[in-house]
């Protein structure tokens, strides 16, 4: 399973990368705005700064919703760095653009996916990644993890190469369940990744080891 961090904060990206477990980054306009990154030039420069930290897979989102401008924005984003994956919304013109990007060798991440039918369309169009938003489904009393399971089964049925990128992952159990189901990627805040480190028996065991070592050296 690949671990992506869902942020535009460079310090968090560096921290996750330095742990040795980071495979990529996903961002969106909301995350950029949270970091005070506004304006086309600054946003592109920030994407480049992220690319300079990680080894691969930096999802950069288009803002346009019509085919011509999705293509224009996506091509411009792809020129920033070979690590860029163009993030395209699950709309009709988005699917059309994904097909064209695929033919041009530009990797894509189909975002805002909330049904297996949408995921099927993204795969048929040639998306590199499909991003089902499981946390947002949970928010409306729908089981987001069931969607992950359904998409994986459909992709396995037809040997689609599109990778399932579980997005809107809110906590460690989301991540573990996605891993159990065989999701290719999870993207989540740094706290979810570091949350995997925690276990009370690890803490108590380490405390005991250190206490015993101290006694033995008195």
**Up-side HSE of residue 77: CA atoms within 13 Å toward CB?**
32
DSSP per-residue codes, 107-160: -EEEEEE-SHHHHHHHHHHT-SEEEEBHHHHHHTT--HHHHHHHHHHHHHHHT-
Q: Is 87 a catalytic residue?
A: yes
**CA R_g for the chain:** 19
CB 57 within 8 A of CB 89: no
Pick the catalytic residue from 44, 83, 87, 214. Answer: 87
User: Hey, which residues are catalytic here?
Assistant: 87
């Amino acid at each position: 399973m690949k671990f992506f961090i869902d942020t535009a904060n460079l310090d968090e990206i560096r921290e996750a990368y330095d742990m040795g477990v980071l495979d990529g980054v996903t961002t969106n306009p909301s995350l950029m705005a949270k970091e005070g990154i506004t304006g086309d030039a600054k946003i592109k420069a920030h994407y480049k700064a992220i690319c300079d930290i990680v080894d691969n897979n930096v999802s950069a989102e288009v803002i346009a919703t019509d085919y011509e401008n999705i293509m224009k924005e996506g091509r411009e984003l792809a020129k920033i760095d070979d690590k860029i994956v163009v993030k395209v919304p699950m709309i009709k013109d988005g699917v059309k653009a994904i097909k064209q990007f695929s033919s041009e060798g530009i990797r894509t991440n189909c975002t805002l996916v909330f049904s297996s039918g949408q995921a099927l369309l993204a795969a048929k169009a040639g998306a590199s990644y499909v991003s089902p938003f499981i946390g947002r489904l949970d928010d409306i009393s729908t089981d987001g993890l069931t969607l992950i399971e359904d998409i994986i089964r459909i992709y396995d049925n037809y040997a689609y190469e599109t990778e399932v990128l579980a997005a809107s992952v809110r906590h460690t159990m989301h991540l573990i369940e996605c891993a159990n189901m065989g999701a290719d990627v999870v993207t989540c805040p740094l706290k979810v990744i570091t949350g995997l480190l925690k276990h009370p028996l690890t803490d108590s065991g380490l405390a005991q080891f250190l206490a015993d070592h101290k006694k033995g050296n008195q």
